[in-house]
Structure 1
């Protein structure tokens, strides 16, 4: 494999791993913790039916306003790719949001997402754009 292809493949693997760890953190410690951990300083979060959230401080404030629920958001990467430079890439996949009502009945919604990842100066991958949409109730 040529050196550029090696750099690109390494970036793809790292982005997949960052996306997986992002989802695991969301499942274990909640969406607010996950989104504020994996957002870049200049992150943009696209919001369904509302204006985007721009910048880390705005994202942190948005996450702090989220109701404290038992809802659990997880997702799975279906595709990842990266620039040959190895410093920018994306993931695309499916998400699942599950919650229980007061009677204990579980309901779930599902959708698709795309996340644009950028390697930070310290080498870590952080999202710079994240968004998705609901495709319906989970089957």
Structure 2
């Protein structure tokens, strides 16, 4: 009986020990956030060059969720297209943003960026102003190795101290 128990323990440890000793690389090359940061910056440049309506649809995944202050979430690319087809209440002023940080999952298929945004506009009485805020975008790597955002949300804030 004792021999059976010992053999069972030895057999169990032979199964468990190799998996317990297997080292998982916490930062494989495909988890490098460089390409994601570049994508977010390119997204901003595309928005400045072609307009927000064009860029926010081009960089969106088909299952996108878009959330902004004071609005219900848009769910899916068709809902996003409808949302951006409507006239913007405060005109064509460009939205500018800059990612401050990005991380990519160890599998390399998902990531996020966050940073600051600013939006020049006019108040109801015609004065120029600039709105500021934070944003978070969650990105999904596509089959062609590009990134598309699956969730984007922004909040209004005071001007960040380290913003240029």
Q: State the shift of 1:6 in Å.
A: 1.3
1:6 maps to 2:29 = yes
Whether the 8 Å contact between 2:117 and 2:132 is mirrored in structure 1 is yes
Q: Larger Rg: 1 or 2?
A: 2
Matching residue of 1:90: 112
Find the counterpart in structure 2 of residue 133 from structure 1.
155
Structure 2 unmatched runs, 5+: 1-24
Give the alignment's TM-score, normalised by structure 2: 0.75
- 8 A contact 1:96–1:138 mirrored in 2: no
TM-score with structure 1 setting the length = 0.87
Larger strand proportion, structure 1 or 2? 1
Q: Which has the higher contact order (CA 8 A, sep 6+)?
A: 1
Name the SS for the 1:50 alignment partner.
Answer: coil
Out of 73, 88, 99, the residue aligned to residue 52 of structure 1 is: 73
Match of 1:70 in 2: 92
5+ residue gaps in structure 1?
none
When the two chains are superposed, the root-mean-square deviation of aligned CA atoms in Å is 2.4
